[in-house]
Structure 1
């Protein structure tokens, strides 16, 4: 019985996808296995209750770059009106401006974490969680991320 439970859990986690939509050249549906192939970064962060933890995951700009969102020297002019909305499994959403994600604009990485202290995220927070290591409030640390939508600010 226990083995069946773990097999079903593993199947549901491997079926988990991250959808990248909106103002992108190439809409994506990424599995956890797909995300494992992208470069990862580890950051130190303080969670609620002042507990320090180490989070590992894909820098968000890497995922957006794979979808064709311009970064670096291409981030100018009309691109500056793009922003993203990150959505959780339960409908919770948070907004991020593109310059917040670009390593040429900031030294504060924003990652889509899949690990905490070297272990996979628990079911309450994962399998994917936004981590902004230097933010004091964690309102944009979206848990159970399922979608990233790139949008353009209205004129």
Structure 2
């Protein structure tokens, strides 16, 4: 009897340890009008082309972020960009959704280097350090805007949609 009791306790202990060691990885889901829906985590972003972007906070102080151009992510997902971004495809847009329900919108032309020189990034670090809670793990950084309202915190989804009447 003591053997089974000890076995039961040991089994329960192992279950608790393994449950605690499973940590849910933060991801950004790319979905909607895409050829290849994706879930990108920190390791995925680390393997992609990285760039720096500077933006002003609400107080006008410059901040340096590092991340992946949103355009690169959209290309990987098979979004209509480049030479195909014309005619009715110009009615497609990116909806950025955050963990608190906050949403911002960009036309695809605002993200495409054939239309603009501005590079909007999905950042995962600021000044060489991971983004702090309440801001990250992922933040959209939109340089050169008068207000930082579209530089969204805690990004969870990049959704491509087609504007229809």
Instruction: State the TM-score, normalizing by the size of structure 1.
Output: 0.89
1:25 maps to which of 30, 35, 40: 35
The answer to whether the Cα contact below 8 Å between 2:123 and 2:138 also exists between their aligned partners in 1 is yes
The alpha-carbon deviation at position 23 of structure 1 amounts to 0.6
1:11 maps to which of 19, 23, 26: 23
Q: Where does 1:3-152 land on structure 2 (aligned, <5 Å)?
A: 11-12=23-24, 15-152=25-162
The alpha-carbon deviation at position 121 of structure 1 amounts to 0.6
Alignment correspondent of 2:3: none
The alpha-carbon deviation at position 11 of structure 1 amounts to 3.4
Counting matched residue pairs gives: 146
Once superposed, what is the RMSD of the aligned Cα atoms?
1.7
* Post-superposition CA distance 1:1-58 (Å, at most 9, x none): xxxxxxx7x934xx11111111111111111111111111101211111111111111
Distance 2:52 2:83 in 1: 25
Distance 2:164 2:85 in 1: 18
The answer to whether the Cα contact below 8 Å between 2:28 and 2:156 also exists between their aligned partners in 1 is yes
Distance 1:78 1:33 in 2: 35
Distance 1:99 1:59 in 2: 14
SS at match of 1:142: coil
Please say which of residues 28-37 and 125-134 is displaced more in the overlay.
Answer: 28-37
Unmatched 5+ stretches in structure 1: 1-7
* Post-superposition CA distance 1:49-87 (Å, at most 9, x none): 111111111100111111101222221122111001100
Distance 2:162 2:93 in 1: 6
Unmatched 5+ stretches in structure 2: 1-19
Structure index of larger Rg? 2
